[in-house]
């Protein structure tokens, strides 16, 4: 049986797509999918997309969001 260090080294040697699959698989064991929560997030995403498309809200770039956060946190 492989130790943790060996498993990590083997995983790091995998192509990026396979590493992403390993990470996703491991994360699902820590935080299993919740169908009800997924439905709620889908509903929120659809509502937000509708708000953007209708012009009720204006998009804000990630750069602007992080700049404001850094400003508020004094960093």
pLDDT at 75: 72
Answer whether 0.75 is exceeded by the pTM: no
List, in order, residues 6 or more apart from 59 with CB less than 8 Å away.
52
Is the CB of residue 38 less than 8 Å from the CB of residue 30? no
11-39 pLDDT tens trace: 999 999 999 999 999 998 998 889 999 99
């Amino acid at each position: 049986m492989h130790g943790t260090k060996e498993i990590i080294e083997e995983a790091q040697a995998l192509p990026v797509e396979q590493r992403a699959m390993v990470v996703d698989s491991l994360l699902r064991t820590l935080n299993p999918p919740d169908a009800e929560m997924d439905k709620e997030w889908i509903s929120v995403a659809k509502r937000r997309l509708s708000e953007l498309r209708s012009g009720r809200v204006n998009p804000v770039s990630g750069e602007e969001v992080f700049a404001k956060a850094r400003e508020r946190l004094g960093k």
